[in-house]
Amino acid sequence: MAEVGEKKKISAWRALGIALGNRKTGFMLLFGFASGLPFALFLGTLFAWLTEADVDLETMGIFSLIGLAYAFQFLWSPLIDKVSIPVLSRLGRRKQWIVPAQLLLGGILITMSVLEPRSQLGMFSLLAGIGAFASATQDIAINAWRIDVADEVATIDILSTVYQMGYRLSSLVGGAFGLIIAARIGWPETYMLMGGILLAVGFVGLWAPNATEEASEVASESERQVRALRQAGELAPGVRNRALALVGLLWAGAIGVVLAFMIMSMTYAPEDRPNPTEFTLNVGPWIVVATIILPALIAGWLASKKRNGEHVLSEDQAPAKGGAYAADHLYRALVLPLVEFVGRMGWSLVLILAVVLTYRICDAIWGTFAYPFYLGELQYTNDDVAFASKFFGVGAIIAGLALGGLMLTTIGRMATLLIGGIMAALTNLLYADMALGGANMQAFSDAIGFTYLIEQIPGIGDAELAKLTITIAFENLAIGIAGAAYIAWLSSIVSKQFSAVQYALLSSLTLLVGTLGRGALGEMIEEQGYYDVFILTTWIGLAAAVLVCLEWWRESRGKRSAGVIAPEAGEAIPAK
C-alpha cells in the first residue's frame, strides 16, 4: 500500500511539472497579468493620479462609472462568443478579441500619459472609459480562451490557478508598485511604462495557441449551429422566436438602464447626478435578474419542451432566409447558451446556482467593510494596513493559489473546493477574535515567533501590526486556495461551445448575494458590532461548504451513472 501511495505522490508532482512547463500555461500567466493590470490602473491607481492633479472629488466620482464595464460585462458576452471579426479572425476565435484589446489598452495608457488630467479632463475620462470597456472585453475573451484550450496536460485546474496568480501579480504591479514608481519618476512616465508593458503583451500574445477549433472554423461552426435549429427534433421557430423576443426585451431594457445612467452621470449637473454606489447596489441586482435569472427560467421551459417532444419540428426544414435567418442567429447567440446549460444540468442547476451564489459570499460582503474595520474599529494606520493587506496580503494570496494548484493536482477539484470553502469560512473566526481585542491571535503570533519578525521592520513593526498581518495572511491564504478551486470548478461546468456567455453569466451571479447583502450587513454592524457579523459570515461559509458536499456527491453519482471512471487525483499524464 505504501508503494501505491508513493506512486500517486510522484505522479501528482510529475503531472504538475508537465502542466507548468506547457506552453499554454505560460501564456495563461501572461494573459492573467494583462487582465489584472488595466483594472488596477483604471479603478485604483488612477484616483491617486487625479488626487495629485487636484481634480475635485465630485469629478472623480464620475470616473467610478467605468467600473460598470466590469460589473456588467456579461451584457455583451454573446458578441464575444459568436461574432467573427473580418481579417482579425485569422488570429483565432478568442485571440481576435484578446490581442486587439491589449494593443488598444496599451495605446490608451500611453496616450493618457501625455495628457494633463485637470486641463484635458474630457479626453482623459473618455480614454479611461474606452479602456475599461476594452479591459472588460479582454476579460471575457481570456476566460473563454482558458476554457477552450484546456486539455489533459494543461488542465482547466492548473490554467485557472495560473490565471489568478498572474492577475494578483498585476494588481500588485499596477497598485502598490505603481504608487512607488510614480513617486520617483512621475505619473505620466508610470502610465507610459504600463502602456508599454501591455503593448508588449499584446505583441507576444500573437503566438498564443488556439483551441482545437481554429479561427477558420468559427464561422462554419456558427452556421452549423444555426442550420441545426431547423432540423427535426428542434423547437419550432414560432416558440423560439417568442422566447427570443422576451429575452431580447429583458436584455435591451437592462442595457438601456445602464446607458441611461451613464448618460445622466456624464451630462447632468453634479448635484443632479445619480449615485454610482446606490445604482450598483439597488439597480444592479435587478439587471442580473432581468438578464440571467428570468432568461434562465425561460431557457428551462424551452429545454423541458424539447425534452418532452412538445412544439418540436417533425421533419427537417430548409435553412432560414432573411429575417428568420437573423432571428435564428440572435437565438443562437442569446438564448441557446442558456438552453444548452439548463438542458444539460436539469434540476441539478438549482444546486449549482446555490453554490455559485454562496461560495464566495464572505469575500463579496466583507470587502466593503474591511478598511472601516481596520482603520476605524481597530485603529490601525494607513501604513499598517498597506503593509498587512497589500504587500504581505498579496503574497499570502499568491501562496494560497500555488497551494491550491497543488491540491487540485493531488487530491482533486471537489476536495480542494470543499477544503478551501471551509478554510475561508473559519478565517472569519480569526476576525471575530480581532473584534474582541485579538488576544488569541496575539498569543499565536508570539508563540511562533512571527511577532519578533515583524518587530524588526523599521518604522512600523510592532506586536499590534504582527497580529493584524498574521490574521490577514491566514485569510488570504484561504482565499487563494478557495479561489483556485472555485474558478476551476466554474470553468469545468460550462460548455466549450458557449464558454464566453455561460462563464460570464455564472461569474456575475457569484457576487449577487454579496451585493444584495451589503446594506443589511452594514445595519447589523451598526446595531450589533463586528463580532456578531463575523460569526454570521462563518455560518454562511459553512453552509456553502455543505452545498459543495452535495455538488461533489452529485458529480460523483453522475460519473457512476454514465459509467465514467474518474482518474485518481494526481495521476501522471504523459506529455504530448
Does pLDDT of 338 surpass 50?
Answer: yes
Assign 141 a pLDDT band (cuts: 50, 70, 90).
very high
**Higher-pLDDT residue of 478, 525:** 478
Fold of 1-213: Growth Hormone; Chain: A; (1.20.1250)
Which pLDDT score, from 0 to 100, does residue 30 have? 94
- Tell me what the mean pLDDT of segment 496-522 comes to: 77
% of the chain beyond a pLDDT of 70: 87
Query: Quick one: DSSP state of residue 216?
Result: G
Does pLDDT of 508 surpass 50?
Answer: yes
Q: Out of 31-40, 334-343, 560-569, which region has the weakest mean confidence (pLDDT)?
A: 560-569
* Fold agreement between 1-213 and 351-561: yes
Domain locations in the chain? Answer: 1-213, 216-334, 351-561
Does pLDDT of 425 surpass 50?
Answer: yes
Does pLDDT of 112 surpass 80?
Answer: yes
Which pLDDT score, from 0 to 100, does residue 567 have? 44
Instruction: Please check whether residue 569 is in contact with residue 406, taking contact to mean a CB–CB distance below 8 angstroms.
Output: no
**Helix H or strand E encompassing 509:** helix 499-510
Average pLDDT score, the chain: 83
Instruction: Please check whether residue 37 is in contact with residue 197, taking contact to mean a CB–CB distance below 8 angstroms.
Output: yes
Whole-angstrom Cα distance, residue 468 to residue 430?
10
**Higher-pLDDT residue of 563, 107:** 107
Does pLDDT of 501 surpass 80?
Answer: yes
Q: Out of 217-221, 268-272, 499-503, which region has the weakest mean confidence (pLDDT)?
A: 217-221
What is the SS3 assignment for 374? helix
Which pLDDT score, from 0 to 100, does residue 562 have? 63
Which pLDDT score, from 0 to 100, does residue 88 have? 87
Given 1.10.150.120, 3.90.1150.10, 1.10.4010.10, 1.20.1250.20, which CATH number is that of 351-561?
1.20.1250.20
Q: Which amino acid is at 417?
A: L
Does pLDDT of 566 surpass 60?
Answer: no
Query: Where is mean pLDDT largest: 62-66, 318-322, 519-523, 555-559?
Result: 555-559
**Higher-pLDDT residue of 5, 246:** 246
Assign 367 a pLDDT band (cuts: 50, 70, 90).
low
Q: Can you give the pTM of this predicted structure?
A: 0.82
Whole-angstrom Cα distance, residue 417 to residue 491?
13
